[in-house]
Amino acid sequence: MDLAASTIVVTGASAGLGRRFSRDLVAAGARVFGLARRTGRLDALAEELGDAFTGIECDVADETSVDNAFERIVEESGQVNALINNAGFGRFGPIDEMSARDFDLLMKVNVRGVFLCSRRVVPVMRRQNDQSGFGGHIVNIASIAGLIGNPEIGAYNASKFGVRGLSESMFKELRGDGIKVTCLFPGSIETEFFDRADASMTSNPLTPEHISSTLVHVLETPENYLISEIVMRPLRPKG
């Protein structure tokens, strides 16, 4: 995909990976629509990145909020060439201490959010495939926790395993429509996510730049093949 001619939607764009993705995609020439709940951070990012970035307040777990956001995006741009389902929520702890509210919130943001956003772009990408022979690219940001279960992160594991299953199903369902689906499984990343989740991480984590450079590479691959899954880990996690 030629990023310089692309419209790309990034969820969870106000911080961490989403902010890095937005910066690097704009630098590559894309027009980026960044979705997040924290409008102050979106405004700051828009001021930094200029006209190539548009921030839209959106709760990816809320159907009406997602529908309104994508209606605006399609109205303003006329296309969606890539969707980066990055918005995520973490809450860790023993299974008998995890509240039902936190469990439900994990599922709503991490799995339902991917479903709601993907559901809105698929018809757009199918039309693009009919017009040009290529529909677009959906990249779902999962986690190593979507591949390996570990103690005291059972709810988070369940949500990220859900992203993996949804991604594999979408990949098989949509490839005939010229739509690529890639699932990315990063290990520990140096972002504020672990602070918000009240969890520890490895002493030598990946950085947002590592993940973002990989994302850009995947998006720029030729249209006639796809990379369905990518696992990223620190080479020396203990430093």
* Domain residue spans of the chain: 3-232
Q: What is the DSSP string of 185-210?
A: EE--BSSTHHHHTT----SS-B-HHH
pTM of the model: 0.93
Residue 123: pLDDT band (50, 70, 90) is: very high
| CATH architecture type of domain 3-232 | 3-Layer(aba) Sandwich (3.40)
Catalytic status, residue 156 = yes
Mean of the per-residue pLDDT values of the chain: 94
Q: Which two three-digit tokens encode residue 83?
A: 């969707």
Reference 50, options 78, 26, 15; nearest CA is 26
Check whether 68 has a pLDDT greater than 70. yes
Check residue 173 and give left, alpha or beta (phi > 0: left; psi -120 to 50: alpha): alpha
Residue 204: pLDDT band (50, 70, 90) is: confident
In whole angstroms, what is the distance from residue 98 CA to residue 155 CA? 8
Stretch 29-37: mean pLDDT = 98
Query: Each residue of 169-194: pLDDT tens digit?
Result: 999 999 999 999 999 999 887 655 44
Say what percent of the chain tops pLDDT 70: 93
Which residue among 115, 156, 171, 185 is the active-site one?
Answer: 156
Check whether 197 has a pLDDT greater than 50. no
Check whether 201 has a pLDDT greater than 60. no
pLDDT at residue number 194: 47
